[in-house]
Chains A and B, each alone.
Chain A
Amino acid sequence: MKRKVLRAILCISMAGMLLAGCGNNQSAPAATEPAEDANTEAEELGTDAQEGASTESTSNEGMMVYLVSKGFQHQYWQAVWQGAQEKAKELGVEVQMQGPDTESDIAQQVQMLNTAIQLQPDAIGLAALDVSALNDGIAQAQSAGIPIIGFDSGVPEAPEGAVYANAATDNYAAGALAAEETYKIIKDRILSTQGSVRIGVMNQDATAESIINRGLGFIDKMAELVIADGKTVSIVGNEKYVNDSQVTDKGEGGNVILDIAVPSKVEAALSSTDAQTLLNKEDILCIYGSNQFSGEGLVNGDANIGKLGKDVVGVAFDSGTVIKDAVKAGKLAGAVTQSPLDIGRKTVELAVKAAKGESVADVDTGCQWFTAENMEDPSIAPNLYD
């Protein structure tokens, strides 16, 4: 009996040691970045004074910016965090970042925003999962006088005056860019086909503003391009997208059918089933995955079917190992990448300015189309994370 207890304790402590070994020396997600580089700080202040842009001459010391992201699970957020840390170091401020376990955990994000307000930072950066769920917290921050800077998808439809500025990708424009580039590839096949062709649009959810806009930007632009060439367009699938798009013909009637898929839960198996369903449709021509998760679902779903890069044109958004490999191997024709590093940097920069009472304005952090040919370009490579 005693020996067994000992054995069990030994096992557990070994597990503990294993874990301790894993906890590496990189900073944890919620880690803080103290001001280290006094020189940079001084330089920065010097520039400020020279430019005379700021009426304040106080240093940034002791200033704290708290970022509430949509999560950490996609490497995309790691790149945002990296950019934020770089800028914080440069400006000599402290930055913290928290995010919910998955992008479905809206309740958890609400709690994180509340915690952030309790900690009374000088400014809060917020990437909202669901805008209406966060409205109470946003109002609370407003009455506490804490400026909010939106990042990533930002905080659209927030109460007037609560969000000072956004450092975000214009997701609607990014979706439209994907549609334009895709259309160049599939135009001839659309025009030469007698019957209908189908374009699948895979979205992670129908709640996050960034995802919705990337989907809608793609849908609306694609419809516009197709109609300009004299073909008709109709739309089927997820109601949110069907109703919010500018396509008026709902149903299977168009020369080009836009088919919108949204999984019931952010779950890899469900997303790849969505992709398989689209790939198995007779008239499928092209599929677009509107973020890293959907792009991975598309690539995984094709594993047994093998149509991508042959009969079906695949297009994705963001990067990550799976998507990068697929673009390299020609399975995906290309993808749109944002500038997560820039989003992180600009968010901290705007937050510090807003906290000092300077006026701030929205910044579009931009996006780029990448293919197997231009992946290594110095203007694109830094934004492609693993």
Chain B
Amino acid sequence: MEGLKNNPIVKAIGTQRLVAFIALIVIYLAFGLLNNKFFSYATIVNIFDASYYIGFMAIGITFVIATGGIDLSIGTVLSCSALMAGYLNVSKGLPIVPTILLCVAIGALFGLMNGWMVSKMKLPPFIATLGSMMLSKGLGAIVTMSQSVTWKSSTSEEGWYRNIFRINSQSGVIVPTGFILLIASAIVMAIVLNKTRPGRYILALGSNLEATRLSGVDVDKWQTLAYVFSGLFAGIAGVSYASIYQVILPGAGSGFEMDAIAGVVIGGTSMSGGNGTIAGTMIGVFIISVLKTGLPFIGLNTAWQQVATGLVLIIAVFIDVCNRRRKG
């Protein structure tokens, strides 16, 4: 065990992420062995489909969790921005390109508001984002008059936006373009978090806010930026959700944030801040979407997905806690 821990590869990845990655592979293979249809290409695309909205939210919220904060609003911000933008597109004739940009912008705006409340107004992140969670849920319903919004179909003139996340060609070829986009975003944001000044400041203020402030860093700015990332990616998640599922129900988003947070935590980011890994987050997200897609394959109700995710979450964090204790 000691030898394994000193292995340079394990050191570079981190024990928990390694455990999470192995768990992902094991879970995937287990479903496949129980039902060989699970290995089909269509199922892999289904797993991807279920991972986009959680994945984008999780990338953004990794930054907030790295500051030691939390963003409870991302789920409802997702549905709020997709409802508002979609409504303007479908009922008011706003072209699709500005619609998509608006969807992302509304998310970023909520993020800016959260960041401002946390850094300037000094509200506890839990309370600030709880407020904007309720706010965004209500606003989404008000704008659309509590109706669902059905984004344009693939066959309509503006339906090409659905190809951003999945190309279903006439000949039956399916390309999961969203997966490429998700991984590309993950790589870019991993570089931002670990290799750039803003990322390093976010990690630094997450581990010790006062010390970072005293060393002359404008912590308010970087803290706000973390929430803007979170909101921005919730907006992108909104576009991905609309393009995969097409219909947005006003109450749809609540609860999504918990899937994203679970993904981040399973991936090895500590809730107390100061560290964060996008690669780990992606592994966590895929564990959740594999469970989501896989459990019904072996005849278990979707309610079991929550039971299973809960167990994975607890076990993953417990392993991490044990490791730290041994090290400490």
Measuring CB to CB, which residues of chain A are less than 8 angstroms from any residue of chain B? 4-5, 8, 11-12, 15, 18-19, 22-24, 26, 28-29, 71-75, 77-78, 99, 101-102, 104-105, 262-270, 272-274, 276-277, 280, 296, 300, 303-306, 320-322, 325, 329, 386
Contacts and interface: CB of A to CB of B under 8 A. Distances in A.
A102 B112 contact: no
Nearest to B84: A22
28 contacts: A12-B113, A18-B84, A19-B143, A22-B84, A22-B87, A22-B92, A22-B143, A72-B147, A72-B250, A75-B150, A101-B137, A101-B251, A102-B250, A264-B303, A268-B249, A270-B302, A272-B245, A273-B292, A273-B296, A273-B302, A277-B296, A280-B35, A304-B46, A306-B172, A321-B150, A325-B153, A329-B155, A386-B150
B288 to A, nearest CB: 11
A75 B148 contact: yes
Contacts of B247: 268, 296, 320, 322
A228 to B, nearest CB: 30
A270 B303 CA distance: 10
A101 to B, nearest CB: 4
Nearest to A282: B37
B143 A23 contact: yes
A101 B245 contact: no
Contacts of A322: 150, 153, 246-247
Contacts of A8: 112-113, 116, 120
A80 B104 CA distance: 33
A24 B240 CA distance: 26
> What interface size band does chain B fall in?
35 or more
A74 B148 contact: yes
A320 B168 CA distance: 21
A102 B87 CA distance: 18
Given A266-B249, A268-B247, A28 B145 contact: yes
B179 interface: no
A297 to B, nearest CB: 9
B91 interface: yes
A120 B91 CA distance: 35
Nearest to A14: B109
B232 to A, nearest CB: 14
Interface in B289-307: 292-293, 296-297, 301-303, 305-306
B174 A72 contact: no
Contacts of A273: 46, 50, 292-293, 296, 302
Given A273-B293, A304-B46, A264 B301 contact: yes
Given A272-B245, A280-B37, A5 B120 contact: yes
Contacts of B92: 22, 24
Interface in B41-93: 42-43, 45-46, 49-50, 53, 84, 87-88, 91-92
Contacts of B250: 72-73, 101-102
A201 to B, nearest CB: 15
Nearest to A27: B145
Nearest to B53: A269
Contact of B292 (A78, A101, A269, A321): A269
A104 B250 CA distance: 12
Nearest to A8: B116
A269 B172 CA distance: 22
B123 interface: no
Interface of B: 35, 37, 40, 42-43, 45-46, 49-50, 53, 84, 87-88, 91-92, 106, 109, 112-113, 116, 120, 137, 139, 141-143, 145-148, 150, 153, 155, 166, 168, 172, 174, 244-247, 249-252, 255, 292-293, 296-297, 301-303, 305-306
Contacts of A78: 147
B245 A280 contact: no
Given A8-B116, A73-B148, A305-B42, A264 B306 contact: yes
A241 to B, nearest CB: 13
A296 B249 CA distance: 12
Chain B CB count within 10 A is highest, among A75, A102, A269, for A269
Contact of B146 (A26, A29, A104): A29
Contacts of B153: 321-322, 325
Contact of A72 (B49, B145, B301): B145
Given A73-B249, A269-B292, 16 more contacts: A8-B116, A22-B84, A22-B87, A72-B147, A74-B147, A101-B137, A101-B251, A262-B301, A263-B302, A272-B245, A273-B293, A273-B302, A274-B302, A280-B297, A322-B246, A329-B155
B146 A268 contact: no
A77 B292 CA distance: 30
Contacts of B112: 8, 11
Nearest to A72: B146
Nearest to A320: B150
Nearest to B116: A8
A280 B35 CA distance: 10
B174 to A, nearest CB: 5
Contacts of A264: 301-303, 305-306
Nearest to A269: B50
Given A5-B120, A19-B143, A269-B50, A277 B297 contact: yes
Contacts of B120: 4-5, 8
Contacts of A270: 292, 302
Contacts of A303: 49, 166, 168
A186 B146 CA distance: 39
Contacts of B46: 273, 276, 304
B304 to A, nearest CB: 8
A73 B251 contact: yes
B243 to A, nearest CB: 11
B252 A71 contact: no
Residue among B116, B143, B145 with the highest chain A CB neighbour number at 10 A: B145
Contacts of A26: 145
B150 A73 contact: no
Contacts of B302: 263-265, 270, 273-274
Nearest to B38: A280
Contacts of B84: 18-19, 22
Given A12-B113, A304-B174, A322-B150, A268 B245 contact: yes
A289 to B, nearest CB: 13
Contacts of A321: 150, 153, 246
A264 B291 CA distance: 14
A296 B35 CA distance: 26
